[in-house]
Amino acid sequence: KNQVEQSPQSLIILEGKNCTLQCNYTVSPFSNLRWYKQDTGRGPVSLTIMTFSENTKSNGRYTATLDADTKQSSLHITASQLSDSASYICVVISSGGSYIPTFGRGTSLIVHP
Amino acid sequence: EAEVAQSPRYKITEKSQAVAFWCDPISGHATLYWYRQILGQGPELLVQFQDESVVDDSQLPKDRFSAERLKGVDSTLKIQPAELGDSAMYLCASSLGPRQNTEAFFGQGTRLTVV
C-alpha to C-alpha distance for A46 and B30, rounded to whole angstroms: 19
Q: Which of B6, B9, B33, B41 to mutate to test the interface with A (most CBs of A within 10 A)?
A: B41
- Interface check for B63 against chain A (CB to CB < 8 A): the answer is no
B24's CB contacts (< 8 A; 6+ apart) are B4, B5, B6, B73, B74
- pLDDT for B100 equals 58
Model confidence over B73-115: pLDDT tens digits? 999 999 999 999 999 999 999 998 766 567 889 999 999 999 9
Q: pLDDT tens digit string along A61-87?
A: 999 999 999 999 999 999 999 999 999
Question: Distance between CA atoms of A77 and A47, rounded to whole angstroms?
Answer: 11
Residues of B in contact with A98 (CB under 8 A): 48, 50, 55-56, 98
Yes or no: say if B92 and B32 are a contact pair by the CB < 8 Å rule.
Answer: yes
Omega into A8 within 30° of 0, i.e. cis? yes
Least CB-CB distance to B103: which of A49, A89, A103? A49
Nearest CA in chain A to B43: A103
Beta bridge partners of B100: none
Q: Which of A43, A101, A105 sits opposite B107 (nearest CB)?
A: A43
A61 has a chain B CB within 8 A of its CB: no
What CA–CA distance (Å, rounded) separates A30 from A72? 12
Looking at the complex, does the CB of residue A45 fall below 8 Å from at least one CB of chain B? yes
Which residue in chain B has the smallest CA separation from A94? B100
For B23-56, the pLDDT digits (tens) are 999 999 999 999 999 988 889 999 999 999 999 9
Nearest Cβ partner of A32 from B43, B101, B109? B101
